[in-house]
Structure formats: structure tokens, C-alpha cells
Amino acid sequence: MKLIQCYIENFGTLSNFKYDFQSGINIIKEKNGFGKTTLANFIKAMFYGLETKKNTKTLIDRKKYEPWQGGNFGGSVEFEINNKKYKLERFFKKKEADDVFKLYNLETNLESDDYTSNIGEEIFGINKEAFERSIFISGQNMQTNMNDSINAKLGNILEGENDINSSEKAIKILDDAIKYYKKTGNRGAINEKIIEKTRLEHKFEEYKADEKILQELKDANKAISEQINERVDTQRELQSTISMISKEEVKRSKIQQYNLLSSNCNQSKQNLEAFKNKINDNSDLYKQIEENKNQIELLNNKNINLNKKISIKNKQKYISIVILALLIIMSVVLKILKLNTVFLVITLIMCIIPVFIFILIINNLKKIKEEILLNNNKIEKNTSIVATLIEIDKKQTNEQKIELDRLTREYNKNLNDIKSFEEENDMESLLSEEHNKSNSLKDFNKKELEEKLEKINKEINLLNDEKNYKKNKIESIESDIDIFEVENDIEVVSNEIEEMTKKLKIIEDTKKNLELAKESFSSHYLGKMENSFMKNIEAINGEKIDLNIDINLDVQISKYGGYKKIDFLSTGYKDLIYICMRMSLVEALFEGEKPFIVLDDPFVNLDEEKMEKAIELLKNIGKNYQIIYFVCHNSRNID
């Protein structure tokens, strides 16, 4: 088989990239960052697709190679196999189920159904993991390990990866079954059953001891029941006596209440009658009012008389003024006429008389007005006193009415209370019983009886708690005790242990035989691979190395008389061994149609001398295989 051409529409950093492959060795030498590893993984993805399951540790290829610049994600590869040419197209989506796969026959340019989307496994006969461990050689993962797919291919058996009969999975299933029955540290299903049997045997012995304890508990509970019954009888007697005393106290309380109501009613009646007798007619108050009114009237009469005097005095005042005016006029006339001087003097002297009279009148008027003013003040004072006395009379009358109403209501209320109490209670009977009551309960102290009852109640509660505790324990023991069931369980578990032990022996024998068969199955191709591996090692190393390869393709090197793992060797030396192992594995895997081999800069750790030998080995392999060799440095270039 060989690749003819590939075209990448978009894959990682590569876009619209085309490459034509030649037979033999195809050297793709580019600088770091060009996309050599991307191209190598594109070839792998064309045949095996891209995984979609999540990986929390590493970035999955579907996400890693999603086009940076967008666009269709994928491309095509043209290849030749069994003298037929095909064109394989794959375009990737978000989910694997949505991917597009097409295969064309280049001779007819029609779609071909010679292979399905699982074309990688169908052509190479190995799964993707085996492809990466064999013909896809990357400097990032040089180690080769055996898996079922490689093992089946080497054995020329077409065994699917998910086939339950695959040796590794079958051995793992057997290991899991062995671990189920027998784990380290005395664990596992068999030991659990042994522990269960031991537990059941202990329980059987415990049940025998519990039967004796159960009878003791039943006897103790019977004695507690008798004690409870004795105390219950005492409790009933005390409750009956206390009840009778309580009834007598209720009756006595009602009689006392009735007597109190009667006393309150009599008292309210006396209060009402006393108040009615206390009410007077306010005669003294009315006498004072009348006296003040008479005084007011007297003063008003005086003022009337005085006002009359004022009127007379005013007239006299005006007359004196008129007389004075006439005398003055007369004096003026006499003077003008120049009559007798004596007459003039007499006239002037007579003018003094009306003036004197006028002054006397004015003084009298002043005194009369002062008296009137004094009388008015007295009238006002007496009027105020009359108003006050009338207000006092009204207030006293109102207060007396209110108090009379209150005392009347209080008396009526007490009468109603007595009537209601008599309707609710048969007082005649109560009073008769009180009169004829027996003195049979007079020697009992209710408080002492109640204290005794409380003590009895506590004792009964404690005894009931103890009885219930023992009862629950009896029920628990009785529900747990089933000797016949435990004996049967012990027999069942014993049979299960015997059956599990037989199954474990069969599984262990099966695993041992399967491992022997696997070793026998693998040994027929191991010798051929070992010879090829030794030749490749000698070709690159320049001398033979004493190595050992087991059926898991693990390599050990002879040192100091024994075989050691190659982990302690330098990285370059280990890569040398891994490269030779890969080439030997490819030769063993593909005896018929030769596959192409992808080499993604696998010689990065080889020194100059071993690099020259590795290139020579690669050239020899290139005679029989198409090699896609990716390299970034001239020191590792084949040309």
C-alpha cells in the first residue's frame, strides 16, 4: 500500500495544502511551526477519524486541530492498495456522529463501498492505538507496547478491539472475578461469607443466652405489674377522697359567695336609704340668694332716688348759671349807662351768690355720683354672689342626682346578682346540706392527700417506665431470637462458601491456562521478531547487544549477569532500541501488503554516529516500504 496525494482544506494551522507522495522515502523537511506533526496527524485522522470523548488531562485532537481560520475541517487522501486506487475524504464536525466520510474508486470516480468509515482497521488490521504503536512513529512517543489488536494481527487472527474473548480483557475479567472472591488482606466475597458465618454462629450462642435473660425479664415484669396494681388501688382511693373534699369546698365556696352577695346587697340598700335621708332642700342657700336679691333691689331704689336728685341739682345748676349771666349782663349795662355806682357794686356782689350756689351744686352732684357708683359696685357684687349661689345650688342638685343614680344602680345590680346566683344554684338545697352536713371529712387534710397522690403517681410512672423498658427489651429479644432461622442461615452460608471456593478454583485454573495459552500463542512470532530486532540493533549500533524481548514487547538488557529494564539507559539509547523494535514489529505485522510508515522526527535523540546508521537502516527499509519522513534539521536529513 502507498499514499499518492493528500489535500488539506483546513486542519489545524494547515489550509489549502497539497502534497504528492512518491514511492520509497518522502522527506518533508520544514522549520518548526510549519505543521509537520499536524500533517502526520492529518494522515492518521483520514484513516482513523478523530476522537470526541473528553479528556481532562490533554486536549483531544478534534479540538486541537479545529481550523484556526475557520472553514471546512478536513480534506482528502489518495492511496493505492491491492492494485486499486482510491480517494478518501473526511470532514469533521463538532460531534463524531456528524462527520462526513466518502470513498471513491479513482478508476471509475464513483463512490466505493469497499471500505467503511472504519477504513483504518479494515486496511491495516489493527486499531488506532496499535497503529500509533507500530507504523506511526513519533519522536514524542517512541515506546512500543503489546495490545490485543497487535497480538491478534501478529497471530493472524482478526479479533475486534471490543471482543470479550480478547486475551488481555479476558485475563482482566478473570482477575476482577478473583478479586471479587478473594482480595488481599483477607477481603473479598468468600471472606465476607466466612465473617458472616462466624457472626451467625456467635448469634446462635447469644440466642441461647438470651432465652434465659428473656424468662428473667418476664418474671420481673410480672412482679412490677403487681406493684403497679397495688398503687393504682391506693391512687383511686385518694382520688375519690380528694374529689369529695373538692366538692365540699365548691359548695362552701358558693355559700360564702352567696352570703357575700347578700351582704353587698344589704349594704347598698342601707347606703341608698341613708343618702336619701341626707338630701336637704338647701333652704339656707335659698335664704342667702333672697337676701342678696333684696339688697340689690334696695340699692337700685336708692340709685333711682339719687338720679332724681341729680336731675334737680342739674336744674338748679342751670338756674344759677342763668342768674349769674343776667347779673353780669345787668352790670355791663349799668356800666355802659354809667348809672349809680352803688347799684353797680351791689349787682357785682350779687353775682357772687349764684357762683357760690353753683359750686355747692357741683359738690353735691359729685357726692351723689360717688354714692351711685358705690351702690353699683355693691349691686354688681351682690349679683355675682347670687349667680354663684345659684350655680352652687345647681351643682349640688346635679351631684346629689348622680350619686342617687349610682347608689340605685349599685343596689339594683346586687339584687340582680343575687337573683342570677339563686337561678344558677339551688341555694335552698345548698343551705340545707350545709346545715345538715356530715363531719366525716373534717379529719382529712386535702394538701396532705394531694402530696400522697402525687407521690403515688410518680411511683406508678416510674414502674410503668421500667415495665415498658423491660417489655420493649422482651419484644426485641423475642423478635431477634430465632434459633431455627439462624441454624438454617449458617447452613446456607456454609454452602455458599463451599460453592464460591469451587468457583474461585475454576477461575484461578482458567486464568492460569489462559496465560499459558497466550504465552504459547505469542511465542510463535516472538522468535522471528527477536531476530529482526537484533539485526536492526546491530545495523544501527554497529555491534551486537545482549537483549531479551518478552511477549509483551518489553525489552531488557543484559548487565552484570542478569537482565535489567532499559529505563536506566540514556534517552538516545532507548530511542535506538524503540526504533529498532518498531521496525521489527512492522515487519512482523505486515507480511503481505506493506503499509506506508510515518516517521515524525523520531531520531532527534540519536548521536551523529548512530544517526548515520539509522539513516542507512531507513534507506534499506524504504526499499520495501513507503516512508513519510518529517524532519526539521539537516543533521537528521537522509539526503
The arithmetic mean of pLDDT across residues 400-420, rounded, is 87
Q: Of 111, 110, 129, give the one whose Cα is nearest residue 120.
A: 129
Most confident of 65-74, 209-218, 439-448: 65-74
Summary mean pLDDT of the chain: 79
Residue corresponding to grid cell 468457583? 503
Greater model confidence, 14 or 337: 14
Residue 182, Ramachandran bin (φ over 0: left; ψ between -120 and 50: alpha; else beta): beta
Residue corresponding to grid cell 555491534? 543
Report the range of poorest mean pLDDT among 42-56, 85-99, 424-438, 613-627: 424-438
What letter would DSSP give residue 595?
Answer: P
Cα radius of gyration (the chain): 70
What whole-number distance in Å separates Cα of residue 612 and Cα of residue 637?
10
pLDDT band with cut points at 50, 70 and 90 for residue 257: confident
Q: What per-residue confidence (pLDDT) applies to 549?
A: 65
pLDDT band with cut points at 50, 70 and 90 for residue 158: very low
The arithmetic mean of pLDDT across residues 383-390, rounded, is 85
- With beta carbons less than 8 A apart as the criterion, state whether 386 and 289 touch: yes
Q: What per-residue confidence (pLDDT) applies to 561?
A: 56
Distances (CA, A) of 433 to 251, 419, 424, 427: 9, 20, 17, 10
The arithmetic mean of pLDDT across residues 550-572, rounded, is 62
The arithmetic mean of pLDDT across residues 50-65, rounded, is 71
What whole-number distance in Å separates Cα of residue 100 and Cα of residue 91?
5
Q: Of 109, 184, 122, give the one whose Cα is nearest residue 158.
A: 122
What whole-number distance in Å separates Cα of residue 252 and Cα of residue 258?
10
Q: What per-residue confidence (pLDDT) applies to 16?
A: 93
Strand pairing of 555-559 and 110-111? unpaired
Strand pairing of 555-559 and 562-565? antiparallel
Fold of 2-181+504-636: Rossmann fold (3.40.50)
- 566-581 in b/e form (b: 16+ CB < 10 A) is beebeeebbbbbbbbb
- Sequence-ordered list of residues with C-beta below 8 angstroms from that of 38, at least 6 positions apart, any chain: 11, 12, 13, 14, 65
pLDDT tens digit sequence for 168-221: 667 677 777 777 777 666 677 778 778 877 887 787 777 667 777 877 888 888
The angle at the Cα of 526, spanning 597 to 543, to the nearest 5 degrees, equals: 75
Answer yes or no: is pLDDT of 4 > 90: yes
Q: What per-residue confidence (pLDDT) applies to 163?
A: 42
Answer yes or no: is pLDDT of 535 > 90: no
- With beta carbons less than 8 A apart as the criterion, state whether 176 and 447 touch: no
Quick count: other Cβ atoms within 10 Å of Cβ 207?
18
pTM above 0.75, yes or no: no
